[in-house]
Chains A and B, each alone.
Chain A
């Protein structure tokens, strides 16, 4: 919606070339980047504070609702942002027949990693 406002009237009218979904990709990359600012800084500070802490202390920390929430949000934003960035890298350097399979494999891997990460967090929080 916002990205629609950022397109020039000509781009919208033409609907050709780069006047397709580029703005949407660009905008999502920025939104996930802004989301990752507090999430990653929280993560780094938490890891620094917990360096040297044992398993029980670490699990107790992750069981706090705020930490659980932040970790899940971090996983989602991280792999969303990674998928957008890796997509551009693949599109820039891979021009052969494996371009589309590489894009699909990358995107599906990001989905899989998010699922595995969230499942692990839930197991830690509810499983012990």
Chain B
């Protein structure tokens, strides 16, 4: 792109550095970031399946890696990213169907996404404690 010497470069918008963070914009970028995290987590899913296919030794190595402190933190973050992307995605599908465009509805659904993501993430991590195998 070449700019003429007289006219300054056109401003780009939205300029994320000077924009005041709002629930709407934060959730928008969070949906993209969580999607990226989940794509990387997909590599982990395949690696985990390959470990299972390789046999009990590789499986237990993978399980102990996931059970390590770092593994648990990563897994917890991925769980939150998943539920954030899931709830945000459902919100998007509702918008696509033409629902929830009023400002009040947008903020209500936005906070619902935040709350549901936190609750579901905690539920997914608490539920295994009650599973008797």
Contact = CB atoms under 8 A, between A and B. Distances in A.
Contact of B82 (A40, A59, A85, A121): A40
Interface stretch (B19-27, B32-40, B101-109): B32-40
Interface in A46-97: 48-53, 55, 57-59, 62, 71, 75, 78-79, 82, 85-86, 89
B131 A52 contact: yes
A116 B46 contact: yes
A119 to B, nearest CB: 8
Interface residues of A, number: 34
A89 B32 contact: yes
B71 interface: no
Contacts of B53: 119-121, 123-124, 127
Q: Interface residues of A: mostly helix, strand, loop or mixed?
A: helix
B93 A85 contact: no
A26 to B, nearest CB: 9
A30 B131 contact: no
Interface residues of B, number: 28
A113 interface: yes
A120 B82 contact: no
Nearest to B33: A89
A34 B93 CA distance: 9
A55 B57 CA distance: 9
B79 to A, nearest CB: 8
B50 interface: yes
Contacts of B46: 75, 113, 116-117, 120
A77 to B, nearest CB: 11
B131 A55 contact: no
Contacts of B127: 48
B95 to A, nearest CB: 11
Given A82-B38, A116-B46, 12 more contacts: A30-B96, A48-B128, A51-B128, A58-B52, A59-B52, A78-B45, A82-B42, A85-B35, A89-B36, A113-B42, A117-B50, A124-B53
15 contacts: A37-B90, A48-B131, A52-B131, A52-B133, A53-B133, A55-B60, A78-B42, A82-B35, A85-B32, A85-B36, A85-B39, A89-B36, A116-B50, A117-B50, A120-B46
